[in-house]
Chains A and B, each alone.
Chain A
Amino acid sequence: MFSGLFSPFMVHSWEATSVVAVVAGVVGFFVVVRGATFAAHAIPQGAFTGAAGAALVGTSTLLGSGLVALAAVVAIARWGRKGRHDVVTALVLVGMLATGALFLSLGSQYADQTFSLLFGEPLAVSAGYLWPTVGLGVACTGLVLSSYRRLLLTAAAPELARARGVVPERADFWFLLAVGAATTLALPVVGALLVFSLMIGPPAASRSLTDRPGAALALSVGLALVTVWTAMVASYASNWPLGAFVGASAVVWYLVGRAASSHRRRARARAAVRS
């Protein structure tokens, strides 16, 4: 049953999903720390439009979803500040999804393509897709890690950051850009609807397991890798869509995180009683 798991045509899928997991683990950690869950949910669904448009005109999915993810980032950063942030994001989001539905309906492979763009199709990853994925992944992780301190500081204490000459809005924009890039990578592999699960589940659990940001970041990457590898094997064995397993793992990680934090709270209370 598992003999074909590492056959040559699966190698690209393994490599691509691993890259996606590392990037999602790093970017997702900051999404959770900065409380940017709504944007992390909205940008992937926007990128779906780009992928659908690319399918309609026949260009690369990466190019299409990347361009529209960029547009979504600019829109959220530009107009989101003035009005109610969540309402604007929600509306930008459904507008893009609806446009994606239009593009797909004007194309020919409506149902199949819709399904794989929304729920992922890692087996379709080709060598041509792999190198852009790696390049974009390195750029994205580099961008986030090089502004590691700034991203943490603006999230924890915006006033202090401003006093130190860091503009929170600008940090926010760069961060959203990284979310956009991570999304573009992950979309063809896990699907527009489940990029969010991969970005939220592992980092949320890792943050309950440890208080040290560095360790939490590393743990988040590790858990994301475990998620996609398990999902790959399970999906290969059952022939069910990869997204189903990634979605299920979000709940597992959430429950692990909850159990860990309540355990640690109890341990701390016991220590306090003893001392």
Chain B
Amino acid sequence: MSWLFAPGFFSNGPVQAALVTGTMVALVCAPVGVLAVLRRQSFAGHAFADITSTGGSAAVLLGISPVVGFAAAAATGAASMEALSARRERDRDLVTGAVLGAALGLSALFLYLSATTRNASGAAVTVLFGSIFSVSTSSWPWVVALGGLAVGLVALAYRPLLLSSVSPELAAARGVPVRLVGLAYLGALAAAVSLSALTVGAVLSTALVVGPAAATLGVVRRPGRAMAWAGLVAMLSVWGGIVLSYDSFNWPPRGQGWPVSFFVVALVLLAYGASRVASGHMHARGRASQQSEG
């Protein structure tokens, strides 16, 4: 197996920690992501991702744990988007745009100040593109807490969430507090995105939330089952990314590993592409069998 696992892979401390962190994060992000795709909130998820970069860079500037910064920024972003929320969909995009602009502008400022005052010039790269190997085990309590929060909110509001995702009018008619449910979901999404930001970096964190979910929803229709499969896809992508990144120390240019986030995102995209091909195949077969019956 040494062609796949470079020597020392399993005994390496940071690798072991990364595998544990990655597994936890993947299992939280996937179910939340399935709902994001069903509710067509990929843009909100992506906006959170960019907003978390502000928190991450502020955390570097203040010298506190990045996961705290990510989570605080995502929560602020969710609250301000809700507070500024407008009814029409197009206006919602603009609100998101304004919040996003402010957040990214602040990130630029914080990262610049970190580079000049704290001499942390690599901060931009770490915050924006992440490295799961640099996640210390001291952030595990935060990971568990945020993950528990996200999964708990989704589990608690599972049925009303699904109903209001499919048809808000029907849900409202049945007495579901649509706005409250939506708010609970935004909270879950914010928690999931901040975990993902910790793993693959702020601007890439959409990949781990939306990617596996979109991949499985192409072939699996039932939401519950799709969540399980999405979890598997996310977990395999993170593990595969860690393995490949560890191996890449022996690739050109030698002595310098390729970024682990790159591999994770590439594997997620690969899964999505495969699912598109498979679902196209299924549709074609379905049509053919309909024609032969008719």
* Residues of chain A at the chain B interface (Cβ within 8 Å): 32, 35, 37-38, 41, 45, 83-84, 86-87, 89-91, 93-95, 97-99, 101-102, 104-106, 110-112, 114-115, 118-120, 191, 193-194, 196-197, 200-201, 204, 240-241, 243-251, 253-254
Contact = CB atoms under 8 A, between A and B. Distances in A.
Q: Which of B94, B125, B211, B256 has the most CB of A within 10 A?
A: B94
A248 B204 CA distance: 23
B285 to A, nearest CB: 17
Contacts of A106: 253, 256, 258
Given A111-B124, A115-B115, A194 B105 contact: yes
B241 to A, nearest CB: 10
A191 B112 CA distance: 14
B45 A247 contact: no
Nearest to B103: A247
Contacts of B284: none
A45 B115 CA distance: 23
Interface stretch (B36-44, B154-162, B184-192): B36-44
6 contacts: A41-B46, A91-B268, A200-B101, A247-B105, A247-B108, A251-B98
Given A91-B269, A98-B207, A241 B112 contact: yes
Given A35-B90, A90-B46, A118-B128, 11 more contacts: A38-B43, A84-B37, A91-B211, A95-B207, A105-B259, A105-B262, A112-B121, A119-B104, A197-B100, A241-B108, A251-B102
Contacts of B272: 91
Interface of B: 37, 40, 42-43, 45-46, 50, 89-90, 93-109, 111-112, 115, 121-122, 124-125, 128-129, 201, 203-204, 206-207, 210-211, 214, 218, 253, 256, 258-259, 261-262, 264-266, 268-269, 272, 276
A45 to B, nearest CB: 7
Given A38-B93, A97-B204, A200-B94, A86 B102 contact: no
Given A94-B204, A111-B125, A32 B94 contact: yes
Contacts of A32: 94
Contacts of B102: 247-248, 250-251
A87 B210 contact: yes
Contacts of B122: 110-111
B106 A247 contact: yes
A175 to B, nearest CB: 16
A101 B129 contact: yes
Contacts of B89: 35
Contacts of A35: 89-90, 93
A216 to B, nearest CB: 14
A256 to B, nearest CB: 11
Contacts of A114: 124-125, 128-129
A104 B201 CA distance: 15
Contact of A250 (B50, B101, B206): B101
B207 A204 contact: no
A191 B97 contact: no
Contacts of A191: 108
A243 B104 contact: yes
A253 B98 CA distance: 8
A147 to B, nearest CB: 21
A97 B105 contact: no
A204 B42 contact: no
Contact of A90 (B105, B210, B264, B276): B210
A98 B121 contact: no
B87 to A, nearest CB: 13
Nearest to B215: A91
B108 A243 contact: yes
Contacts of A245: 105
B204 A251 contact: no
B105 to A, nearest CB: 2
B97 A201 contact: yes
A37 B104 contact: no
A90 B206 contact: yes
B195 to A, nearest CB: 16
Contact of B105 (A37, A112, A244): A244
A94 B103 contact: no
Q: Which of B89, B103, B109, B206 has the most CB of A within 10 A?
A: B109
Nearest to B129: A101
B47 to A, nearest CB: 9
A193 B204 contact: no
